[in-house]
Amino acid sequence: MRRGKVVLGIATANVAVVVLLLGGVLSGSRAVDPLAEARVQAGPANQASLGRLLEGFAAGDTAGLVRRLERRVADEPGDGQALAVLGLGYQQRARETGTPTFYGLSARAFQQAAAAGGPEPVIVRGRAALANTRHRFADGFRLSRQAIRLDPEDGSAYGALGDALMNLGRYEEAFRAYDRMAKLAPGIPSYARVAHARELLGRPEAAVQAYEIALETGSSVPEYVAWAMVQLGNIHFSKGEYRQAAKAYRGALDRLPGYVHAEAALARIEASEGQYRRAIARLRHAVDVLPLPAYVIQLGDTLDAAGRTSQARRQYALVEAMERLFEANGVRTELQTALFDLDHGRNVPDALRRARLAYISAPGIYSEDALAWALFKVGRCDEAVEHSERALRLGTNDALLYFHRAMIERCLGSSSARSWFARALATNPYFSLRWAPVAREALAASS
């Protein structure tokens, strides 16, 4: 990839580049809340009534909003505008609860909205976002392009397009889509994508700057603000800056008390410091509130690190059932289940098959890395190193990618393994409860 051609990767600090990367912030443009765009695109006759219904997003009461919308469409089944916003509401509820059944409800609401003549740009864009959430990125690509054709000024449609392209490994196109979104709809959703792109390009400081600007713009949706603060903390954590990470996570909890993603992130810091009892208690609460497979795995790994192996196995047993539930609701889980099994020594040959499927369907750098890890696990290290090289092609500063490369190089008998282990630990000494100790042992053994 010719990084100089990628707008988000340009290192020069001239004003034109800054304006492009930061959308309209420097020119005084207001932040746009993508959810509120539904009201605008619904048509003048319905803007006032839908505006009142959308107040649930601003109040942080998505559950209440969804209930009101459900009552409205029960009374008026032909209200296409309300059905379209209900589809968006169900997606937000999925974010907030981790319940995959909301995906199916969202799809059905959009289908009914289309049949009722609802606002087509909102419906198609909502379907694009839903396809991406379900890890069906080819569909997300197709639908987001359709949404842009319907409304070339819809910034959120460009965000959905960028998300699909990113996961399909088409990074230059994805970055252009994100730049376009930032200009059309400056705000947390667009600047968060800019930040993620910068992080992938190995520019964490620039990513932090983008998140800080995102937070300055604010949002009418409290969960958006808390989420952005957690992502900012995650960048600090990935750099080994644990104090700054914890400050960001606690800021998210101040903004949205009990926010599960912040609680789980704080638990990761506590576990890395050996405060297992506190981390386990925090994670148990997180899993009770938001039963996502990632947090169940995190709880299992923390229990395992604390020597409570039988309890850890019980958590791992839950993961399979949870992943089946996601699959039943249309979510592709090959990448996630493959990595879980590879990391925990389960079903390795089949995990290789799933990692390959994930790579074929969405050949981004993380599916490339997962395939490399799977090939390493079955001893095919000559093939693994080729995929690891491609996984690192953007210059992403990720300790886990470095660790995987180190293990592959050691498998090949290469002297460079030591430098990759050192690089992983220098990037983030506690990048993984499971693998950071392995990296430290390998580095000590090779000195």
Which helix (DSSP H) or strand (DSSP E) does residue 173 occupy? Answer: helix 171-184
pTM for the model stands at 0.85
Burial (CB < 10 A; 0-12, 13-18, 19+), residue 329, is middle
- In the numeric block, the tokens 């409570």 are attached to 308
Alpha helix locations (H) across 239-292?
A: 242-255, 260-272, 276-289
Per-residue pLDDT of the chain (447 residues; tens, 9 = 90+): 333 333 343 222 222 222 233 332 222 233 334 344 444 444 444 555 555 555 556 666 788 889 999 999 999 999 999 999 999 999 989 988 888 999 999 999 999 999 999 999 999 999 999 999 999 999 999 999 999 999 999 999 999 999 999 999 999 999 999 999 999 999 999 999 999 999 999 999 999 999 999 999 888 778 889 999 999 999 999 999 999 999 999 999 999 999 999 999 999 999 999 999 999 999 999 999 988 899 999 999 999 999 999 999 999 999 988 888 888 888 889 999 999 999 999 999 999 999 999 999 999 999 999 999 999 999 999 999 999 999 999 999 999 999 999 999 999 999 999 999 999 999 999 999 999 999 999 999 987
Q: Are 8 and 201 in contact (CB under 8 A)?
A: yes
The CA angle 366-295-62, to the nearest 5 degrees, is 100
Give pLDDT, residue 312: 96
Alpha helix locations (H) across 290-427?
A: 293-305, 309-328, 334-343, 348-361, 365-377, 381-391, 399-411, 417-427
